[in-house]
Amino acid sequence: MFFIFFAVCSKNRGKESSHIHAGLYKNVDDANDYGRHDAAPTAAAANYSAGHFCRLFAFETGVTVAGYILKRRLDHALAEISSGKKAAGVVLEYGFETYAGFYKAFVKMYGCSPKKYLRICKSKNQEAIFMHGINEIKKILGNWNISTDLEVEDVTETEWQTGKKSEWTTWRVGDVYYLKTNERTKMIRNIKIAKALSDQGLASEFTPVQTKQGHDYVDGLQIFLLTKKIGEPLTLRPQTDDEIGFSENDKLRNKHAFKLGQAIAKLHRALKSVQIDVKPWEGNLYEQGKNAISIVKKLDLEIDEVFFSDYTENFGKLYEKLPKQLIHGNLCVEAAVYQNGEVAAFKGFETYNLTFPRIYDVTWCAGEISPPQIGEYLKTLTEMLKGYDSISPLTEEEKQSVYYVLCATYLKGYGYFTKTAETADLMTRYDKAMVYLAKNKGKFFGLM
């Protein structure tokens, strides 16, 4: 359900993309404020709030506003230094206190020194790599200790809302490997996340297979990364027994739910360790839900005013006390990959850079609230919360906020899109979940 939600949102935002890109680029480049940039003027010019603008920008571009601005500062500073200007003066002009500060920020962003990056940029061979097809890719694969006879196929996904190929170019290599490439700063970001996950005993779709020289990737303007296929997604909470097979009962599902909660706790440890480098967008879940209340009130859902007052007053008090950090943000159950019944990896780090209450990932991953299956849903959610708590203890405020986080999740959905022929089924299910939450608050308390 949530995958469909994001897909629909993406399509509805298609017309917004040009405003986001053009407005931001013009504001940053023309204003020339080098790190003292505020998203509010850009957002206002595009008729958005600053929060909504930042959220859309991160989703559409795969980087946060802060990350984009830092990259522009680094790029401009390096260009001026390479042209012969004194480094000390240039870095101060672009908002860095010292050259050492500039150097450190550059290495974190690009994965190499400024000098090496300039050398890569001057290499004519880099352009040729992308001018050729499978034969050129096979030459690149020669950097790894794998068979030269493996079949290579371009499996880059097509973005259905635009009809264009994804910027995350991917080739399947035999039945085990995948070769991936993109603009280097985005690759560096995801490799950092992969390494942090590895420290927690988890893999990701960006876990590197080392080259013959012992490197994580083949370096260039666009990094080439070889990864291995890892396990298969496990449907955690199917709508019917047919979707998972009659042999798997509630006990087995709950067993996986507990393990998944533990794995999300480890995922969060990993993400928190790279949060400073990733520079996520700081979202406000409470405000997003609150801002959509006026939309929900216009619908004929017969939800009592008490529900909205309760959300506004009580969640507003709780929200400031909730632990927040870099999270996955789109942790659909398909994003968890299993091997031999154990959570082995997480997928889906291409676009999302979001700071939210950490419990959001747990409630999101538990699945869709469907009244006919509410008993099974609550079992799954409870086991996931227990699993998470066994690794990273939940605060009392987090335990009290489970209900409100779910309310906010559904409320904010109404702010993304309107009911159309294409979204009718999804919106109907959303309406049912919203009504159930409004009338059954007590079922979501005391789960642990």
Confidence of residue 162 (pLDDT cuts 50, 70, 90): low
Q: Are residues 143 and 84 in the same domain?
A: no
Q: Are residues 292 and 406 in the same domain?
A: yes
Strand residue runs (E) in 348-391: 354-357
Please indicate, yes or no, if residue 88 is contained in any of the structural domains.
yes
Q: Are residues 248 and 164 in the same domain?
A: no
Please indicate, yes or no, if residue 303 is contained in any of the structural domains.
yes
- How confident is the model at residue 246, as a pLDDT? 33
What is the token pair recorded at 180? 């991936």
Q: Are residues 134 and 114 in the same domain?
A: no
Q: Are residues 67 and 202 in the same domain?
A: no
- The answer to whether 120 and 221 are in contact (CB under 8 A) is yes
pLDDT at 21 over 70: no
Type of residue numbered 428: T
- For residue 176, the Cα-to-chain-centroid distance in whole angstroms is 25
pLDDT at 8 over 70: no
- How confident is the model at residue 240, as a pLDDT? 44
Comparing CA positions, the residue from 355, 389, 167 lying closest to residue 264 is 389
Please indicate, yes or no, if residue 336 is contained in any of the structural domains.
yes
End-of-domain residue from the set 63, 94, 122: 122
Q: Give the integer Cα–Cα distance in Å for 327 and 285.
A: 13
- Cβ-Cβ contacts under 8 Å for 131 (sequence gap 6 or more): none
Please indicate, yes or no, if residue 236 is contained in any of the structural domains.
no
- Cβ-Cβ contacts under 8 Å for 318 (sequence gap 6 or more): 397, 400, 401, 404
- 340-373: pLDDT as tens digits: 778 889 988 776 678 899 999 999 988 888 888 8
- The answer to whether 196 and 271 are in contact (CB under 8 A) is yes
What is the token pair recorded at 264? 């999300």
pLDDT at 113 over 80: yes
pLDDT at 39 over 70: no
Top-confidence range, 248-262, 296-310, 330-344 = 296-310
Per mean pLDDT, which range of 35-44, 213-222, 317-326 is the poorest?
A: 35-44
Q: Give the integer Cα–Cα distance in Å for 329 and 346.
A: 12
Strand ordering across the sheet containing 281-282? 281-282, 354-357, 324-327
Q: Which residue has the higher pLDDT, 89 or 9?
A: 89
Q: Are residues 249 and 372 in the same domain?
A: yes
Q: Are residues 316 and 414 in the same domain?
A: yes
CATH code, domain with 376? 3.90.1200.10
Q: Are residues 296 and 340 in the same domain?
A: yes
3-state secondary structure of 326: strand
- 66-81: pLDDT as tens digits: 778 888 888 888 888 8
- How confident is the model at residue 319, as a pLDDT? 97
pLDDT at 235 over 80: no
Domain of 38, in residue numbers = 2-122
**How many of the other CB atoms lie within 10 Å of CB of 186?**
20
End-of-domain residue from the set 122, 144, 175: 122
- How confident is the model at residue 416, as a pLDDT? 77
Q: Which residue has the higher pLDDT, 331 or 198?
A: 198
Exposed, middle or buried: residue 370 (CB in 10 Å: 0-12, 13-18, 19+)? middle
Q: Are residues 398 and 419 in the same domain?
A: yes
Comparing CA positions, the residue from 233, 228, 259, 184 lying closest to residue 346 is 233
Mean pLDDT across the chain: 81
202-206 long-range contacts, CB within 8 A, separation 24+ = 202/263, 202/266, 202/267, 202/270, 202/343, 202/344, 202/345, 202/346, 203/230, 203/337, 203/344, 203/345, 204/345, 204/346, 204/347, 204/349, 205/178, 205/230, 205/345, 205/347, 205/349, 206/180, 206/349
Q: Give the integer Cα–Cα distance in Å for 140 and 153.
A: 14
Please indicate, yes or no, if residue 235 is contained in any of the structural domains.
no
- How confident is the model at residue 72, as a pLDDT? 83
Top-confidence range, 28-37, 390-399, 406-415 = 390-399
Number of domains comprising the chain: 3
Radius of gyration of the chain, Cα coordinates, nearest whole angstrom: 23
Q: Are residues 187 and 47 in the same domain?
A: no
- How confident is the model at residue 425, as a pLDDT? 85
CATH code, domain with 212? 3.30.200.20
- How confident is the model at residue 332, as a pLDDT? 78
Please indicate, yes or no, if residue 434 is contained in any of the structural domains.
yes
Q: Are residues 74 and 160 in the same domain?
A: no
Mean pLDDT over 275-293 rounds to: 90
End-of-domain residue from the set 88, 122, 156: 122
What is the token pair recorded at 75? 């790029």
pLDDT at 408 over 90: yes
What is the token pair recorded at 181? 């490439």
Q: Are residues 251 and 395 in the same domain?
A: yes
- The answer to whether 70 and 76 are in contact (CB under 8 A) is no
- 179-202: pLDDT as tens digits: 999 888 888 889 999 999 999 999
pLDDT at 18 over 70: no
- DSSP code, position 218: B
